[in-house]
Amino acid sequence: MRTNFKLELSKIISEFSLEILNMPSPAEKIFVSTPEINRPGLQMAGYFEFFDEKRIQIIGKSEESFLRRFAPEKAEQRLRDLFSRNPVAVVICRDLEVGEMYAQIAKEYGVPLLRSSESTSDFSAALIAFLSLHLAPRITRHGVLVEVYGEGILLLGESGVGKSETAIELIKRGHRLIADDAVEIRRVSNKSLVGTAPDNIRHFIELRGIGIINASRIFGAGAVKLTEKIDLVINMEPWDVNKAYDRMGLENQTTEILDLKIPSLTIPVKPGRNLAVIIEVAAMNSRQKKLGYNAAEDLLKRLGMTDDEQIGDATSKPVDPF
C-alpha cells in the first residue's frame, strides 16, 4: 500500500477555477502531498512553532482584517514571515482585493499565490474533500465493484468463480458497474472506502467465451458509474459440502481492507443459484441493518430464543446444500 501520493497544483487550479496571481514555476511541476490545509491566523500573529509548509494556506476575511490592524510596515513584515517559510501555495478567498504587496512578496519568495471567489469555509471544505480523495492511501484488489440499490458491493473471489457474469446480470437488472477485474480502493476517511476503476480499463468487462465488452456502449451510460463507496464485501467461493455456511445471519463477518473492517458475507456458488438475486437481497438486507432492523434477531425473538445458548444452537446446525 502506497501512502506517499502527490497531486499537481495545476489540477487544483483547474478543479476550482483559481485565479493565478503569482506562479514561480509551471503548476504541473508543483506538488501537494497532504490533504490538510491551514488558515494562518496564528502565523500572522507571529506563532510558527508547529507550522507545516506542506499545507496549502487559506487566507480569508478574518486573516486579512487582522492584518489590516497593523501599520503597513508591520503588516508587510508579518506577510514576509509567512511567505519566507515557503508554503506550497497560498489561496486568497472571497475575491479579496489584497493589493500588490501580496504578489510582490509571493514573487520574491517564490510562492504560488492564487485567488478564489468562493467563501473561505466553502472553499476549505471542498478543497479538503478533493485532496482527501486524490491523496488517499489506496490498494488495487482483484474483484468487481457494483452499485446495487444504492449500496456499493465489492465482489471478491478466485478467477473464474463468476464475478463478471454476475455483474452483467446485475447491470441487466438496472444496477450499475463501477469496476471489473481490478478495483482501485481508496481510504478517504477513517470510516469509509471508495472504489473506482483504473482509467485504462474503465467500463470494460471480460467474459470467458465472448471476450472483452464495453458495458457503457452495450447497456448505456446509465449502466456505469465512476466511483462508489464500499458498503459490503461479498466473498464468492465454490460450494463446499463440508463447510458450514451461515444460515441465520447473526454472525457479523468483516473483511479488512486498508485497516478498515467492512461488513462482509460469504456466498457459496453452485449451478442453479441465481447470484444476481441473492446479491440484490444482500444489498437490501444490508440497508435494513443500517436502519437498525435485523431479520434473524427478530425471528429468534418471535420464537422465544433470546438467550445466547439458544441462538448458538440455531446457528450451529449442519448445512443442507438444498
Among 117, 134, 151, which residue terminates a domain?
Answer: 134
Q: Write the CATH number for 180.
A: 3.40.50.300
Of the candidates 243, 285, 287, the one whose C-alpha atom is nearest the C-alpha of residue 266 is 243
Q: Which of 85, 229, 247, 287 is catalytic?
A: 247
Do residues 103 and 22 lie in contact, with contact meaning Cβ atoms separated by under 8 Å?
Answer: yes
Domain span at residue 73 reads: 7-134
- 320 counts as catalytic: no
Do 165 and 259 sit in the same domain of this protein?
Answer: yes
The predicted structure's pLDDT at residue 3: 55
Please, what are the averages of pLDDT over each run of 10 residues along the chain (322 residues)?
78 96 95 94 91 95 90 91 95 90 93 95 95 91 95 93 92 95 91 93 90 93 94 92 77 90 92 90 91 86 68 49 38
Do residues 113 and 106 lie in contact, with contact meaning Cβ atoms separated by under 8 Å?
Answer: yes
Do 276 and 199 sit in the same domain of this protein?
Answer: yes
The predicted structure's pLDDT at residue 209: 85
Q: Which of 115, 134, 163, 186 is catalytic?
A: 163
Q: Which of 142, 172, 208, 261 is catalytic?
A: 142
Do 170 and 288 sit in the same domain of this protein?
Answer: yes
Distance, CA of 167 to CA of 179 (rounded, Å): 10
- 52 counts as catalytic: no
Q: Which residues share a beta bridge with 205?
A: 213
3 state SS of 146: strand
- 301 counts as catalytic: no
Q: Which of 78, 107, 181, 229 is catalytic?
A: 181
Do 79 and 179 sit in the same domain of this protein?
Answer: no
Do 126 and 156 sit in the same domain of this protein?
Answer: no
Among 103, 119, 134, which residue terminates a domain?
Answer: 134
Give how many domains the chain has, as a whole number.
2
- 247 counts as catalytic: yes
Among 114, 134, 154, which residue terminates a domain?
Answer: 134
